[in-house]
Structure formats: C-alpha cells, structure tokens
Amino acid sequence: MRIDARLRDGLEFAAQDARSAEEIGYDAAWNNENRAEPFGPLALAAEHTSRIELGPSVAIAFARTPMTVAYQAIALQRFSAGRFVLGLGSQVRPHIQRRFSMPWSRPAARMREFVTALRTIWDAWDTGERLDHRGEFYDHSLMTPNFTPPPNPHGPPRVYLAAVGPRMLEVTAEVADGLFAHPFLTERYLREAVVPAVADARPGFEIALSPFVAFTDADVAAVRRQISFYGSTPAYRPVLDLHGWGDLQTELNALSKQGRWDEMVPLVTDEILHAMCVVGGPAEVAAELHRRYSGLAHRIRFNLPGEVPEPARFADVVAAFRAL
C-alpha cells in the first residue's frame, strides 16, 4: 500500500511541504479545494520535487467545465513529467449553486459525462482529430490549431473520482482510474459496499483512503466533531445505514439546520468513532490501519481534522507503516 501526504493550504506551503513529503518517503502529495484553488500550488509542488505523484484530492468538477479542467490538468501533467493525477469531486448542491453559482443536476450522470468529455478533449489534442463531444450537459465541438496544446509526451493524466453512494461509485468504476473514498468510512462499508461496486473497473484501478487518525484526547475530540458534521450530510447516509445507524443522520441534519453544532458532537458514540478512526501511538495507528485496509486499498493518507499539519507530523507513522 502506498502512503500519501496532504499539502497544507496556500501557495506559501506548497513547495516546502511537497519537498518534505518526498524526503520523508511518501509516494504522493495531495491538496484540496477547501480554502484555496488547488492547481496553482501543485505547479509549485511539481517544481520542487522529482519523484512523488501530485494532485488535487479533490478539485470541484462542477465549479468548472471540462475544457477549463482539461487545460489545467494537461499543463500540470506536462510540467510534472507525468506525475500529475487529476482528482475530481462533485461537492453538493448548495455549494455548486450558491457558492460557485454553477448549474446542478443529476450529479452522477453529469460526472460521467464530465470525465468522458475530458478524455475526448485530451484525445483530440494528442491525435489532431476533430473535437466532437456533444452531450446532455456539455458541448465541446470547437477547437482550432491556435488553441490546441502540443501533444503531451507523458500522455493524459489519470483521473480519480471522489464517491460515497452507489450511483457515484458506479460512475467511478466506469470512467475513472481510481477512487478517493471519503474519510466518513468504515472498514465494513469499504468491504461490503465500495470494493464490490468497483470490482469491474478498468485495469490498474486504485482505491485511495484517507481514514481518520487520533493520537491525543484533543485529536479524538476533533475527529468526533468532524464525524458529526459529515454525518449530517444526506449524501453520506449510506455508510450509517449499513451499520443500522441511519437515524443518526436524520437527527444530526436537523440540528445542523438550526446551527446547533455543539449539540451534534455527543451524538457520535464511541462505537461510531472507533469504526471510523484509529486511535493510539504511531506504531499502534500504523498496525491497525494495516490490519483494516491492507488488501482492500492501494494507497492511504492520514486524516487529522483541523488545521492541516505538515507532512513531517506523520513521519513516525510512515516509518512504522513501512516496517510492516
């Protein structure tokens, strides 16, 4: 199993964290699109590394069009000498409509076409064939030589999708090269719902995890709060339903709509916490993660809620994991 790092938010940390991740021995470094645009920092990360893979986990697909993403991704793939992996996620309706002011409809079908359109654009650039994608959500049928990037010697980047529910998992298996499983996850949900859903994916398909970890009481409290926040989201209910905890989602959702965030936290029981989070010292965390997920996932990233720590924060866990 490969071990991945998380880059801190912001351009000021990108080069430092990526270089540190490579020196420590991580296999890849990812950022995400929470507080900052993800693609610019990855260019800096690529400039200051030579081995590790780099990508967003995830960039918000529906805040953009396939064409805008195609240009950004192919530029980073070229600049990184083939080390770029394009991670995409759908986000949820309120953010797409009210934060990004973009259209929302049928997210699984839209994501399928988004990735199909991306691949059509990249193929047209590499082969010189006429661009002709005309779909339900996107129309890309104009590409003149003046706007066509030169063929990329490294080929197009791989595409990973974030997915939780059955429809998006189905799309991921159909069109993507890998899956970013959400941290709101249990070993049982991974075994019984996720792995079977992507069993027929294309050769080389990878499952990437970012499970919660906690080393201190403060970490445990932060994870419990994060689980309560995620648990209020209807899209993540299938994880709770599998365990018979579905009513918790209804209760958390009602409290979240009233802004009663602190009252949500105690509803996350120890049973739920430990199903989604590994608690202990570095060696204990590494051993338990290995026990739970070895043979099920291809890569793993340690997830500690709150301010993103620098990659060196998990150096001892990386070393313990490698020793296994």
pLDDT value, residue 235: 85
Beta bridge partners, 208, equal 180, 299
Question: Distance between CA atoms of 322 and 320, rounded to whole angstroms?
Answer: 5
Per-residue pLDDT, 163: 93
Start-to-end CA span in the chain (Å): 11
Task: Give the pLDDT of residue 164.
Answer: 87
The CA distance from 82 to 307, in Å, is: 30
Q: How far is CA 1 from CA 31, 103, 191, 215, in A?
A: 20, 38, 16, 22
Place of tokens 């650039």: 125
Instruction: Choose among 185, 168, 194, 285: nearest CA to 226.
Output: 185
What the block records as the tokens of 269 is 């029981």
Q: What's the CA gap between 117 and 133, in Å, rounded?
A: 6
Cα–Cα distance, 67 to 159 (Å, whole number): 15
Whether residues 123 and 238 fall in one domain: no
Residue owning tokens 């893979």: 53
pLDDT at res. 276? 98
pLDDT of residue 258: 97
Query: Amino acid identity, residue 101?
Result: S
Residue 129 CA to residue 143 CA, distance in Å, equals: 10
- Does 209 share its domain with 287? yes
Q: What is the mean pLDDT for each group of 10 consecutive residues in the chain (324 residues)?
A: 96 97 98 94 98 97 98 98 98 94 96 98 96 97 96 96 93 98 96 96 96 97 97 92 96 97 97 98 97 96 93 97 94
Q: Which of 43, 93, 41 is nearest to 63 (CA)?
A: 93
Cis bond before residue 194 (omega within 30° of 0) = no
- 166 and 109, same structural domain? yes
Within this chain, do residues 55 and 139 fall inside the same structural domain, yes or no? yes
| Co-location of 256 and 289 in the same domain | no
Q: Where do we find the tokens 């793939």?
A: 77
Domain extent, residue 317, equals 2-213+281-323
Q: Which residues contact residue 297 at a Cβ distance below 8 angstroms, ignoring those fewer than 6 apart?
A: 1, 181, 190, 207, 208, 209
The answer to whether the CB of 82 falls within 8 A of the CB of 156 is no
Q: Are residues 208 and 275 both part of a single domain?
A: no
| Separation between Cα atoms, residue 297 and residue 207, nearest integer Å | 5
**Does one domain contain both 165 and 180?**
yes
The full DSSP string for 166-210 is HHHHHHHHHH-SEEEE-SS--HHHIIIIIHHHTTTPPTT-EEEE-
Burial class (CB within 10 angstroms; exposed 0-12, middle 13-18, buried 19+) of 100: middle
Task: Return contacts of 254-262, CB within 8 angstroms, 24+ apart.
Answer: 256/229, 256/232, 261/228, 261/229
Tell me, yes or no, whether 147 and 256 share the same domain.
Answer: no
User: Per residue, what are the HEC states of 80-116?
Assistant: CCCCEEEEEECCCHHHHHHHCCCCCCCHHHHHHHHHH
- Residue 77 sits in a domain whose CATH number is 3.20.20.30
- Total of domains in the chain: 2
Q: Classify burial at 117, counting beta carbons within 10 Å of its beta carbon; exposed 0-12, middle 13-18, buried 19 or more.
A: buried
133/127 Cα distance (integer angstroms): 15
Place of tokens 């199993």: 1
Q: Are residues 200 and 107 in the same domain?
A: yes
* 308 lies in the same domain as 233: no
Residues 80 and 201 in one domain: yes
Specify whether 174 is located in the same domain as 302. Answer: yes
